Amino acid sequence: MTDTSYKAQCHCGGVELSLFLPDGLVDPRRCDCSMCRRRGAIVASIPLADLKVMKGAELLSLYQFNIYSNYLKMQDSVGI
């Protein structure tokens, strides 16, 4: 990994990611779900091309919210 590449994982460790962040975290914000609030987690958006699922892709499913204009991949087993 280079200085601009990072590893991340979900809360339970079932999904692992590799992130390319040449400009660091741009516009980070607080997630307001109950689990992230308890842990003080932050969230940031990055281009899809800069994210690679290294482990657990089969655990993810599409979650659409609002007027289906926003979406994210979530882990079915834990709902986050």
Q: Say whether pLDDT at 64 is over 60.
A: yes
For residue 70, the model assigns a pLDDT of: 54
Pairwise pLDDT comparison (19 vs 36), residue with the higher score: 19
Look at residue 10 in the predicted model and tell me its pLDDT.
Answer: 82
Domain for residue 80, yes or no?
Answer: no
pLDDT value of position 19: 92
What total number of domains does the chain contain?
A: 1
The sign one gets for the Cα dihedral 13, 15, 16, 22 is: negative
Handedness of CA 26, 47, 15, 71 (dihedral sign): positive
Judge whether residue 37 has pLDDT over 90.
no
For residue 52, the enclosing domain spans 5-75
Q: Which residue has the higher pLDDT, 63 or 68?
A: 63
Residue 68, domain member (yes or no) = yes
Which pLDDT belongs to residue 75?
61
- pTM, 2 dp: 0.66
Whichever domain contains 21, its CATH number is 2.170.150.70
